[in-house]
Structure 1
Amino acid sequence: MGSLACPSAILVLFVVALQTEANRLPWHSPLKKEYKSYLDRSPYSLLDDDTKESLNGSLPQDPQSANEEPDRKASPTPAPKPVPLQSQEKQDPVKPLKWKFPSRPVPPTEPEVPVVPKMPVPANSVAAKCGATDVQVEVHRDFFGTGRLIQPADMLLGDCTFTREDLSAQVLLFESELHGCGSSLQVTEDELVYTFTLTYVPKVYLGTSIMRMNSATVDINCHYQRVHNVSSDVITPTWIPFTATEVAEEVLVFSLRLMTDDWKFEQASNAFYLGDLLHMEASVIQYNHVPLRVFVHSCVATPVRDLNTSPRYSFIENHGCFVDAKLTGSRSRFLPRAQDNQLRFELEAFKFAPGYGDDIYITCELVATAASTVSKACSFANDRWTSSGGMDEMCACCDSTCGTGQPEAGEWNSEASLGPIKVKKQN
């Protein structure tokens, strides 16, 4: 038995090779039968039945034999599945990746420090000396304390330029009488206060359209205690914004003020619209004097401060006749008198013709008489003249000529001004 082991193994391998080759042939090939008959004549016949049975099971069956199954339709050969070039299974890397995309650099954060604006320090560049009849003002050319010198022509005291300049000290000197340079006078029970306005208006640099300084104003007040009577000449009429006041002989103080609608306070604003009513109050304050009554003999409006300019509009004339309502059909009128030393009237706001701006200046002639003296304040309404005091017959002369035009005995006259009053169109 031991001597046949090796040939049997070789035989089996040979038969298996033949059988494998036979399996590669189509089942209907005639070579199938040739291989089968060859196997019957080959050493295959020497194999035992069990080995043959195992080999016969691997041979393809011949459908033409009597024991074969009936014909079957050949099923189409399925298309071979494509072999993936790469395994679809997700595989873990051999080593974990340590490389990363570089991150964007983060700028360093600055600490939050509260910003406190630097407050400007007022420059001590203006000095004033109030005398008995005049005022002297010194202005350093380093007006803002920044080291930059101002141009002397850009600095005004009211409407006056500097009197002289100290080149070594870089100081501008202004001198004015108390009632000069557009000063204003405020009278209280205890004192007189003269106010001057120092104005700096810079101009653009020559050859450019820029400037490096701001405009500025400084008010200078001179206070004088009222502890004695004033017995000097009549003070020249002055222009005062919104209020005009003048001290006359025998210590009489005339004023013309723009009042609020309820007549309780002086108007703080000078801006109005066309059609608004300007509430104006004329008054006189007397010291050591008999009771007086004030009247408005005339009022003229101009687009500038000059009373003699053109155009000019006279809305009260002829010794107290309010002609504005008759000329334009306005609501302008005198109000009934509440006190002898006060006279209130309303003027409907107007503008001058185009080309003269929005400003109007009003100058009125005020007259004070003894309270027992009869004078007139006439308004025009419903096609007739009426008096604020109820004596309408005194207004009959308003359509002709009233009075002689000369001051009468026992009268004190003064002029008072208001302005500028800005009148705009309604939107």
Structure 2
Amino acid sequence: MEVLHAGLVLLLFCSAYSYQFRSSAGDDPSVQDPELEWERMETVIGEEMMQTPPRETKFLKSASGSDSSTPEAMNVPQYVTVSASEDHEEVFKPEKGARPLPDLIKEISLVTATPTLESEKRIARMALVEILCHVDRIYVRIRREIFKTMDAYKYLTLGTCPVNQGTNAHYYLLYLLKTNCGFKKESHADYWSVRNVLHYKPTSPVLRDMPFDIPLQCKFPRFFNSYAVGFYPVLQGGIIFKALKQKNCFTLATQDASGKEITGTKTYTLGQPMYFEAKRCGHLSGSGDQRLYIHKCFMTASKNPNSYPKYTVIDNHGCMIDGKVTKQSKFLTCASKMVQKFSVGALIFKGHVSTHASSQQLYMHCEISMGKLTPTQNSKACNYDQATKKWQELYGYHSVCHHCASTCSSAHPKATGKIISSHPWKVLSSKDGDAEADPQMKSFDVDSLNLEDPDMAEHKDFLDHWEHDY
């Protein structure tokens, strides 16, 4: 009967309240010394309760409707009977304006409930069975002296979980809430509760201890009110360092010849120049010693950059290799080096030409990263000069472009930029008859070229040296 009485007291008095503090123990509550673990958790919970007292009593009622779940020392009486003499009449007399609160009123208002002899007895009886409620675990211990048999631990369980620690004085059941012990979790308007039952069910043919079931409950308040009596906000936690610099975020947009971004799907004709702009999100706030680099760009007929076929226009860590095919493909200078613009002549994939399809939809995919202001072999923007047959860096330092004539050595580190894709555009095939001009192609004999014509001289130079371009 003594154990059953303790169980009733435990149900009404041991409903514990969790506070938002760090979990200082590991995920496995099994430890070498359960007594030290119990004392440690008592200290942690006790410190938190002192820093953040429970809310006003009326908000913390147990399932039975009793207010006894709040520690006795924190209870604030609803009213106090005071024998006031005539000397106190002026203290309670209403008057205009404001004045400091008299000491007598402070003494009356802050009177705390004095634990009664009965409550002290209940606390003493509670020592037979104790519970600690933490934000992620429940610890229960029961004194061994209440059992008459040495193997009582075999029949003692917390829900479905057995005793997992023991000392000469106590049996311990230390479990995380995520353990499958039969914890019943209930959600209420202002608190969340966890219930379980401490069972003692001996299976021996004879009994020396009576079986019992002790209901246990932990209550976790959902919120606190700043106006609640006795609530003292406490700032907890350590120092958290968060980088103010935004992670690299890039965009690749299509533009018209004037530099305005094109919204929607643009349609080009074959050979028409297309303009692109790559920049970092919030580039205006970037560092003055940084520059945006495009390492590689290629076109596909699908939104998926891993699809085929694909046509590469920029390669070798910043070489405009399509510039050897057409003058329209080149890097363009910008007012800010946090932005990189380039142009490419419109094209279509030969294998996708169909008599039924009037146009092809294409996408541009680029590998972009940030680097130092001075270009290197692995971060550059090199154009091919058709006149000199040489590679030149957009802002000088032409020596970094010497790898553009071949494939960069594998000894150099690969670019680590992320592939960014543009919005799609369409290119009309020549059979659609939508081209702005139909160039008339003529056949010339190399020996009959008039070198006095500058244009013809350029073609003569090309025919004389074309083998050296590849």
Q: What TM-score, normalized to structure 2?
A: 0.35
Of structures 1 and 2, the one scoring higher in RCO (CA 8 A, sep 6+) is 2
Q: What TM-score, normalized to structure 1?
A: 0.38
Structure with bigger strand share is: 1
Structure number, greater radius of gyration? 1
